[in-house]
Structure 1
């Protein structure tokens, strides 16, 4: 099992930039969607986006600088929890901004306090469960990649145009070529080179606009309770707690996936500290009036592709995020990457996440029909509601928010069916020797 443990500071800095670019658009999308839906002013949107990026850096630092109280110490990158978008919009529309942030603060406290108890459920996540979950995470994100390759929005007039497809395909092919035939450091930063080269090509086709950079301010200071004193309303708090549990389940899968990639067995104490760090991140998100934060699954594929399995690049990524959050004009540079370029990179990374899950499932005895059914039904349910979320549109709103999540459906199905079929014959825990540990 070969591991890449040494990387120079300049190379780590470039790899950290690659991590940042991989998660930047997905994280910035959350404040843009919520702010637009709740009719934030342009000044409020400027604060929301820049401080969101700042808090992504803080949240990432809480995880990677592990201590005995919190932090899992893996090369993880945290960003805004996309699954929180719909419920936060609902809370903001039904009540107000202050209630929305009160619910986030309460959810953060809940996640921090329940971390140790939730970690004790680790045996509920053998390779059969985590492999099914990670496969669904990767496959459910593939449509997002294709939507970006097409142009970002199906409502756009040029969606699916030959130019968009050409730029997206160029990005994918360049990343593949550099990953397969590149050597050393070039191989490690294949995604970054693909993003830069794709952006240059997109610029030749008029896809790149520097207007976001021109309009952004030079400096912004994080301000606690920017939108006023938080309000605490019980139904909003319960909603955000349920969404936080979904994030914890997803993070569990990501923790195991990263542990598998770097060759480290994830213990109960690791999970506890990981959950606590996410709880602190969510709490700080509420205090500074941003959003809940969770471990980003796309960066798992990036760690695997680069072959760099230490935390050093992610330390730089966290530092860059904090700096960009304080300097919105510089941070806005990352927003000029055309959607087809991002989609091309996403296709590679999300595909790697899905394959990571499949490799975990190789540890499972599928000669046992019960295991076969657990994986088949769980993956089927997860992808089913991802493709057709309208199937639950007749259910109450809160139930819709939960059961339209493919990740949650796959998680519930895999955990419950595995418990039902295998409780008397427990499945083996994740082996750090198996999976994608070797390059």
Structure 2
């Protein structure tokens, strides 16, 4: 009897892990597709890049889950390619060499590992006002990406925003909502997975699903160090990737605090340091095995909140599945059959949940204090502003553009600086007397 219970529990954990995998899979394979395409990789090179990248996502996730004295934050986090690294890596690869690109990634990983302890000590700069603002902006800035996918993923395509694309995406959202409203127990926990399967089935009936990726993929791949050649180290390229690594650390800090709040587990300075070190190791391995820098994915925070499962066990399964799929490209290619609009529909729900997690954290803030309102308003305004209009910085140097056009970084830096300058905690607000206090009888002693 006990064996049956354990088997059922593990089966549920495995399905939840698959849900985590599908939630991040499109983002994980997007980076190698974009960079490989920009550098004109042939089909065999692209196959290696995508499959080994998926393997490294699983390994990077495992490094964070295996909490020990040196590295690993031990939270249910999933790591994937840092999307903000796409443009600079394309630029480095096109202007220099592929080896220079991977040399810069290795340098960035070494840098993060070296400063992990120092960066972790500035956690006092992230009170609920700052972290809540940052998490809200993370969710809100991701929603346009969700809608891009909902329309088909490419605004220049003739079928972008077609009724079929919108229909299968909307069906995915409706199924996720229905599972959460009327579903019970495990059905509610795997609502996103059910939504993806239902949306994919409908898309298949509409002729949107192709088995070609599976037929063309090979059966087995294994990671090879320096597959594309030995690394080259160039100063400007290395500095560029160091700045991208700092951006990732800021984003990861917000995700760590969001999960800590969700799990009612305080995130200590030691936790942060080990979390940064795990990401640093993942980045260095990405450079060595010729993949990419890795960072904590924020969309999986929404999935943790939506499913209600707050343990690491499902994420261990997700890491194992990712590594397996990376070694078996033909099996891994099955996940690429999910149409982009279907993934976009699921993203709308998950990214909205991330934003609401930030709003919930802001609920701890006393907004009767005008300084708190000002800090949140300006930070969110700037973060969303540069996301919507990144071209506003087009006259600035490329390095400045990379930093300033990132809405999450803009909101994070603004919130931290304004919190330090305005010091809202020093200004107390006298609360109005409650009804019970007004009606309290007067003593006649």
Match of 1:178 in 2: 179
Match of 2:198 in 1: 197
Measure, in 1, the Cα distance between the counterparts of 2:369 and 2:237.
Answer: 43
> Which structure 2 residues correspond to residues 14-93 of structure 1 after superposition, within 5 A?
14-93=15-94
Change (3 A) 1:424 1:157: closer
Aligned to 1:79, the other structure's residue is in SS state strand
Tell me whether 1:10 sits opposite 2:11 in the alignment: yes
| CA shift for structure 1 position 339 | 1.0
| CA shift for structure 1 position 349 | 0.1
Match of 2:246 in 1: 245
Would the aligned equivalents of 2:379 and 2:415 in 1 still touch at CA under 8 Å? Answer: yes
Measure, in 1, the Cα distance between the counterparts of 2:71 and 2:171.
Answer: 42
1:371-406 Cα shifts (integer Å, max 9, x gaps):
111100000011001111111111111111111100
> Which structure 2 residues correspond to residues 152-301 of structure 1 after superposition, within 5 A?
152-301=153-302
Measure, in 2, the Cα distance between the counterparts of 1:151 and 1:91.
Answer: 29
Match of 2:412 in 1: 411
Larger radius of gyration: 2
Tell me whether 1:362 sits opposite 2:363 in the alignment: yes
Match of 1:436 in 2: none
Match of 2:128 in 1: 127
| CA shift for structure 1 position 318 | 0.3
Unpaired runs of 5+ residues, structure 1, are: 1-5, 428-439
Measure, in 1, the Cα distance between the counterparts of 2:427 and 2:272.
Answer: 20
Would the aligned equivalents of 2:80 and 2:295 in 1 still touch at CA under 8 Å? Answer: yes
Measure, in 2, the Cα distance between the counterparts of 1:86 and 1:359.
Answer: 33
Match of 2:391 in 1: 390
> Which structure 2 residues correspond to residues 304-323 of structure 1 after superposition, within 5 A?
304-323=305-324
Aligned to 2:426, the other structure's residue is in SS state coil
| CA shift for structure 1 position 156 | 1.1
Measure, in 1, the Cα distance between the counterparts of 2:115 and 2:425.
Answer: 27
Measure, in 2, the Cα distance between the counterparts of 1:93 and 1:426.
Answer: 52
Measure, in 1, the Cα distance between the counterparts of 2:386 and 2:424.
Answer: 27
| CA shift for structure 1 position 261 | 1.1
TM-score norm. by structure 2 comes to: 0.93
1:201-231 Cα shifts (integer Å, max 9, x gaps):
0000011011111111000010001111100
Measure, in 2, the Cα distance between the counterparts of 1:43 and 1:393.
Answer: 36
1:44-74 Cα shifts (integer Å, max 9, x gaps):
1111000000000000000011001000000
| CA shift for structure 1 position 425 | 3.1
Would the aligned equivalents of 2:20 and 2:300 in 1 still touch at CA under 8 Å? Answer: yes
Measure, in 1, the Cα distance between the counterparts of 2:350 and 2:344.
Answer: 10
TM-score norm. by structure 1 comes to: 0.95
**Pairs aligned (count):** 422
Aligned to 2:227, the other structure's residue is in SS state coil
Match of 1:113 in 2: 114
Measure, in 1, the Cα distance between the counterparts of 2:389 and 2:332.
Answer: 35
Measure, in 1, the Cα distance between the counterparts of 2:334 and 2:261.
Answer: 34
Measure, in 2, the Cα distance between the counterparts of 1:425 and 1:211.
Answer: 62
1:383-435 Cα shifts (integer Å, max 9, x gaps):
001111111111111111111100110011001001111187399xxxxxxxx
Measure, in 2, the Cα distance between the counterparts of 1:404 and 1:426.
Answer: 33
RMSD: 1.2
Measure, in 2, the Cα distance between the counterparts of 1:93 and 1:367.
Answer: 52
Measure, in 1, the Cα distance between the counterparts of 2:427 and 2:199.
Answer: 48
Match of 1:342 in 2: 343
Measure, in 1, the Cα distance between the counterparts of 2:97 and 2:118.
Answer: 32
1:280-311 Cα shifts (integer Å, max 9, x gaps):
00000000000000000000000111111000
Unpaired runs of 5+ residues, structure 2, are: 1-5, 429-445
Aligned to 2:222, the other structure's residue is in SS state coil
Mean CA deviation greater in 147-156 or 247-256: 147-156
Aligned to 1:8, the other structure's residue is in SS state helix
Measure, in 1, the Cα distance between the counterparts of 2:409 and 2:379.
Answer: 10
Mean CA deviation greater in 12-21 or 256-265: 256-265
Measure, in 2, the Cα distance between the counterparts of 1:129 and 1:199.
Answer: 39
Tell me whether 1:144 sits opposite 2:145 in the alignment: yes
